[in-house]
A = this chain, B = another copy of it.
Amino acid sequence: MPETLEETLRKTVRAATISEVAALAGVSTGTASKALNGRGSLRPETRLRVQQAAEQLGFVVNGAARSLQTGRTYTVGMITTDSIGRFSIPLMIGAEDALGAGQVSVLLCDARDDPIREKYYLRTLLSRKVDGIIVTGRRNQARTPIATDLPVPVVYAFISSSDPRDCSVVPDESDGARKAVRHLLAIGRRRIAHITGPEHHHSAQVRAAAAIEALGAEGLRPATDTMYGEWSEAWGRQAVGMLLSTGADVDAVFCGSDQIARGVAEALREADRDVPRDVALVGFDNWDVMVEGCRPQLTSIDMDLEGIGRSAAELLLAAINGEPVQGQRAQLCRLVPRASTAVLAES
């Protein structure tokens, strides 16, 4: 408390520059630069002396100065079009992971579905001379390209660009739905219903279509028409009510989301239908809290968002290094089996 001012002053201490390091080591700045960056040919002894001087002074290179010289910032921008949410996080983690390994930092921009903010962020990213940009968002309908003729490469992750030449990495949701249905078929279920989100939602449509197709491939039809509703537990419960009241004969339900599935599980439980014995259950998203909180624990489809983020980052790095990839990449899903589809020992 008494040292407030002094403290403040100490913290304001200026970092050492390369010429100070050079001076201390008794060499020129050029030599110091080479020594610190492992370039050129130097006497090992000199190199060491410079490194020690740098150490001693706590030297950290000034990125701004370096960027000004080299034209590269080793920074990429990440724009999430909708707010940072449940889907953006794993994408960010994956991207951050792949980029961090490449010594690249991430500038985070939350555009909140606001085109104005988006433009603003794009401008600051450009002004910060990022080496590339990753565009992310919740909806995975195609979106209009964030801009054309940018001086840096752009990769879309999770969402895709409506320009097919743009590089996008998306989950193969049809694959996920197929895997869910095939899994249910594999454990012997034949009367499969599909309860999912709003009909106007792209994901709901794609998953439903793929589910029906997968059943068709085995000469089967869904146990009921696709039940469209909301992405909520409440809808899952409600849908079960409808199912039971119509007396539909169903031995499995594939749900469009884990939340729906959880609602379904609860409602079935309360109607004294055993999961998985009477009705097997598969969700979508593999969202930890839902899947683990569910009783029994929920088999689910994992879109591997982290993997998508990682791929996007890798493609971006490739583009930055002069090897751009065009077009859309769909990444396969993974089924994670749990108790809600566990095959029972007894018949």
Contacts and interface: CB of A to CB of B under 8 A. Distances in A.
Contacts of A67: 64
Interface of A: 1, 4, 7-8, 10-15, 60-65, 67-68, 73, 75, 78, 83-85, 89, 92-93, 96-97, 100, 103, 105-110, 123-124, 126-129, 149-153, 165, 232-233, 259, 262-263, 266, 289-290, 292-293, 324, 326
Contact of A11 (B62, B63, B150, B233): B150
Contacts of A63: 64, 127-129
Contact of A106 (B7, B107, B259): B107
10 contacts: A13-B151, A62-B129, A63-B128, A64-B65, A84-B89, A84-B92, A93-B110, A107-B107, A232-B293, A289-B289
A259 B84 contact: no
Contact of A107 (B64, B105, B165, B233): B105
Contact of A68 (B62, B83, B150): B62
Given A65-B68, A129-B62, A151 B326 contact: no
A10 B149 CA distance: 6
A62 B69 CA distance: 12
9 smallest beta-carbon distances between A and B, as pairs: A64-B67, A108-B108, A63-B128, A233-B293, A64-B64, A64-B68, A60-B127, A60-B126, A106-B108
Contact of A105 (B15, B60, B128, B289): B128
A34 to B, nearest CB: 18
A190 B15 CA distance: 61
Contact of A126 (B15, B290, B293): B15
A75 B123 CA distance: 15
